[in-house]
Amino acid sequence: MAKKSINDIDFAGKRVLVRVDFNVPLEGGKITDETRINAALPTINALVEGGARVVLCSHLGRPGGKPDPELSLAPVAERLDEILDTTVKMAPDCVGDEVARMRAELGEGEVLLLENTRFHAGEEDNDPEFAKALAGDAEVYVDDAFGSMHRAHASTVGVTEYIADCVAGLLVHKELDSLQKCRDASGDGFIVILGGAKVSDKIDAITKLLPRAEKLLIGGAMAWSFAKALGKEIGESLCKPESFEAAREILETMDDDVLAKMVLPVDVHMRQVEPDTGETRYAPIDAIEAGWNALDIGPETRKKYRSIIVDEAEIVFWNGPMGYFEKPPFDEGTKAVAQALADTDAYTVVGGGDSAAAINQMGFEDRMSHVSTGGGASIEFVQGDDLPGVEALDEK
């Protein structure tokens, strides 16, 4: 990796501002999934054990630039205090006189968690004054929130203008090293799998990755947008106007030789919704009927995709589920693709978001080469875009 990490600097005794990703799910003030907290522990522990004075900052949810008690990071501070071998203090805000005092009083190896950065509009606006206040007295900035590095916010970019040393944490270091293989890949053996609901969300990825890939496999509801754009009946299947237009634009503007590398489902698993009988059945992609909702790829598509992944792939990048994986039996397509990735000898990367959630839910995470913590960030990095949060870090 061309960027410096905490392995490249001396942080002992220094005041270190760490951007972590504590955007955890909460129910009734309780954390229901600690994955993101656990992902940050190696960096936090390294800093604590190395004698840094550690200030953690993160966003949580979308409070709209004003305080929201239900989106407080206090539950995270409580949990960190339980699992870290040091006392964790919780700040009442992320900026202000009281916060500055608490930061100044931190001893070596001590940790202070700032309140939700998105309680201030200046965070998402990357306001210079807010960024300067957030940087505070920090001598070192560490970004360990890969899932937010594609956003030019105050806590990911703005603060770097006011802190001398700006480096990657251990999680970000691992992410960039692992994803670089996909970013550099092209031609034979590079298989891309894209799923999810909207073509409009991934039009950039398709137009940039399709020319580079040997094959690009399409799944999820975005497949129905392509089917409709090709003139097929899709019944009640999800296809928002913007996704239909995006699919049509891709089909009309991209070179035929490039489009030939796109692989669409040949069959579907669908459910009758008008009338709502609850009946489900498989059907060829050309045989979706009015009143039926396609919710997953079918068995023939699963076989076809598995064959491509297992027999042809050298590097695989997967972002987005193949169907409505949250509700069986429409998890079969996603599970089949996950199984294929687990069975192949290829280098396999799962690009965060719902596909990572599915992999974890199905117990395949340990059989992947890398499971990213950032959905949007991973796909933007792999497709060749510069991430603002990465660009803001110091070069080696």
Distance, CA of 223 to CA of 265 (rounded, Å) = 7
Cβ-contact 94, 114 below 8 angstroms: yes
Q: Which pairs count as long-range contacts for 386-391, CB under 8 Å and 24+ apart, including other chains?
A: 387/149, 387/150, 388/149, 388/150, 388/151, 388/152, 388/156, 388/157, 389/19, 389/143, 389/145, 389/148, 389/149, 389/150, 389/151, 389/152, 389/156, 389/157, 390/3, 390/149, 390/172, 390/176
Q: Which of 147, 219, 376, 389 is catalytic?
A: 376
* 261 is an active site residue: no
At 345, which amino acid appears?
D
Q: Which of 14, 174, 198, 228 is catalytic?
A: 198
* 151 is an active site residue: no
Strand-pair partners of 293:
271
- CA angle 179/180/181 to nearest 5° reads 90
The Cβ of residue 30 has, within 10 Å, a number of other Cβ atoms equal to 10
* 376 is an active site residue: yes
Give the closest residue to 351 by CA, choosing from 381, 385, 389.
381
> What is the DSSP-derived secondary structure letter of residue 390?
H
Distance, CA of 290 to CA of 343 (rounded, Å) = 37
Q: Which of 147, 196, 298, 353 is catalytic?
A: 353
Q: Which of 3, 14, 19, 36 is catalytic?
A: 36
Chain-centre distance for alpha carbon 259: 26
HSE value, Cβ hemisphere, 13 Å, CA-based, for 174: 17
* 158 is an active site residue: no
Distance, CA of 104 to CA of 174 (rounded, Å) = 31
List, by residue number, the catalytic residues: 36, 198, 353, 376
